[in-house]
Amino acid sequence: MLRRVFTLRWLGTLLLAALWSVAAYHLGHWQYDRHLAKVERNERIDAHYGAAPVPLTGVLAATPLPLAAEWTHVTATGTYGEQRLVVRGRTVDGEVGYEVLAPFRVDGAIVVVDRGWISQGQRGASDVPVVAPPPAGEVTLTGWVRVGEQSRGKASTPGQVASINLADISAAIGEPVLGGYVILERDSAPAGVGLTPTVLGKPDKGLGPHQAYAYQWWMTMPLGFVLIYYGLRRERDADEDALPGAPARPAKPKKVRIWDEEDA
């Protein structure tokens, strides 16, 4: 069998098996890294979500929010701006709708506030329902800071964005914004007339199947080599059977079905 391995055909097969093994190893680590990222996210949520709120200006700055500070419970007093934006294609409990964004000016800076979710209009994504404006005048709010999302690279419809990408939102409202956004918990004043956004619920802490997928990838690493081993044995047996005077291999016994009363 060793002599057979060092033929051109089987060496090529060994190379393919080795490439598969390396690919499965890295794919397993990719899935396991995703699992660890969710574990770390849950640790941040547990540490920050239920804590007493701290001043927003002590957490957010012009630079991007550090991931370790995500989900920090914050409070701020300021005024809402006049611009209105919605993030399209956001799903809550299986229903597609929008998340409503508003700029909030605090201590001379602007932070993007996610005021909550509304369902999609009856005429499709372009038919955005009329949303109640945020409270006028000075408002005190509480919420949780989040890291901005990646841009989806899509052209924005006026009044809409494809994701909560802070650079895209800054371009849409025409002013610089702080390096993170706030998911609203509550305002200190009632909103105006119109459809009031539903405040987003608690963050999902599910870990998903990534750890299981990682183990599955790693378990398939030796698969190619196992198949090669059985392929070599089968080829060896076939060659031995073809030799002159080779004894015939005993035939496998046929399975015989036993008659029972159910056949009666």
Q: How many CB atoms sit inside 10 A of residue 261's CB? A: 5
Q: 3-state SS of the chain: helix, strand, coil percent to 5?
A: 35, 25, 40
Beta-sheet pairing, 85-92 with 160-161: parallel
From CA 1, how far away is CA 228, in angstroms rounded? Answer: 11
From CA 155, how far away is CA 25, in angstroms rounded? Answer: 38
Phi, psi of 17 (to 5 degrees): -65, -40
From CA 227, how far away is CA 255, in angstroms rounded? Answer: 27
CA distances from 129 to 56, 77, 83, 132, 235 (A): 30, 28, 16, 10, 70
Per-residue pLDDT of the chain (264 residues; tens, 9 = 90+): 667 777 777 888 889 999 999 999 999 999 999 999 999 999 999 999 999 999 999 999 999 999 999 999 999 999 999 888 999 889 888 888 999 999 999 999 999 999 999 988 666 666 777 888 888 889 999 999 999 999 887 766 788 899 999 999 999 899 999 999 999 999 876 655 567 888 998 888 899 999 999 999 999 999 999 988 888 888 776 766 556 655 655 666 666 666 655 555
- What does pTM read for this prediction? 0.75
Q: Name the packing angle between helices 8-48 and 210-219 (round to 10°).
A: 160
Cβ partners under 8 Å of residue 30, min gap 6: none
Instruction: Give the closest residue to 203 by CA, choosing from 10, 49, 12.
Output: 49
